[in-house]
Copies of this chain bind each other. A is one copy, B any other.
């Protein structure tokens, strides 16, 4: 019986094998045709560049239509609208405590959910954080450094003007104020930010990444292709700071890539971004440490690159290419998660949401406690607390706010490393509450016992009023800035051929 079965199975397998051989033949033939098509694309390039940086993205359209077209789709915000309920959500409206946390810093004016790369310049010009230079004689409130991640005109101008660390070098990129480069910064984040225009090899265009790696004894130029598929993102989606006095842009990576490593770096050089006007705390503002947080999660630890999920492969005709419509991988679960994970899309989506929700629960607590702590610290100072009494409290607030901001500032952190984000937010709550307890004791010493009165900060408007912002005036000026100044920048750039007609 067993032997008969064996014979019968043997013939079936033989027949099956024959069918498979035939299909494989067809596949090889098809593969050959595809290769021929790819080779033909590269041999028939229309544009040949001699410079690594070509700022006008349109110049790449003819030779790389698939990449260009998908890149253009970063203008589309329908996924954001579907996911957030609006293409751009006013986060301060949702979370008025954040206005308190960022009091004294431009982020307290305006902070929205992100849109695609094609909106980068437009969003930067209209955000109230860059001020309204030129309106009613307003001066710049930001240095040119603020443009750094906003497009390939940055490396172009760095090369043109020089980008040394010496702020006194006249005309140096870092020497300028933000509005002085308004008519130069006209091409949004695009090809040359990540590719060498001569070869289209991946090549991050910003110096800070190379410098940080060099200080750590590594060479970005020697990174593998898979590493590069993250590093082109990591040149911007990372924690950075402007050196006091020179506004030179640097990454605080010398002691390592964790939240605590960066804090130790900042503590050592005595750095702070601003002094909080309520608690007088020297605050560190975290700047989207997306790459660092991703390294803390299992995907990063397994060598999954940013592009693997945010720029999945597509196929069109005979050509396989990376989708340049960079966005949430949840928008294309079939081409992102499901490349590795065999669960259905809804399960995978719910897995992400569940992790987000758990982080958000602790985030809500952190913002509530920390906002209260800043306000109570002011109350203590107003009621006679000495500098010596406030110093340990301010140390706690600085630690708390750094961990909160680091945890929430980057895109997708709650997915990239849910446990790490939960840990950081937990420590943020912890330090804020230690501060509140210490403040209560200091106040009691100065004769006040009981609950410190907290203002009504239940809406963005109330919170902004509490910290003394005249929002209607800022908004009105911004409208004039957008109507009067920005069009001149665009016009000038077009006249000089720096911005091509689209």
Chain A interface (Cβ < 8 Å from any Cβ of B): 2, 5-6, 9-10, 13-14, 17-18, 20-21, 24-25, 28-29, 32, 298, 301-302, 343, 351, 355, 358-359, 361-362, 365, 369, 418-420, 422-423, 425-427, 429-430, 433-434, 436-437, 440-441, 444-445, 449-451
Contact = CB atoms under 8 A, between A and B. Distances in A.
A478 B104 CA distance: 65
A32 B418 CA distance: 48
A24 B28 contact: no
Contacts of A358: 419-420, 423
Contacts of A21: 10, 13-14, 17
A5 B29 CA distance: 9
Contact of A6 (B28, B351, B355, B440): B28
Contact of A361 (B20, B361, B423, B450): B423
22 contacts: A5-B28, A6-B29, A6-B32, A9-B24, A9-B25, A9-B28, A10-B24, A14-B17, A14-B21, A17-B17, A358-B419, A358-B423, A365-B430, A419-B419, A429-B429, A429-B433, A430-B430, A430-B433, A433-B436, A440-B440, A441-B450, A444-B444
Interface centre among A21, A301, A355, A445 (most CB of B within 10 A): A21
Given A441-B451, A444-B450, 7 more contacts: A5-B32, A6-B32, A10-B25, A17-B17, A301-B351, A361-B427, A440-B444
Q: Is chain A's binding surface mostly helix, strand, loop or mixed?
A: helix
Contacts of A2: 29, 32
Contacts of A9: 24-25, 28
A437 B433 contact: yes
A406 to B, nearest CB: 15
Contact of A422 (B5, B25, B302, B423): B423
A436 B430 CA distance: 12
A414 to B, nearest CB: 10
Interface centre among A17, A302, A418 (most CB of B within 10 A): A17
B426 A351 contact: no
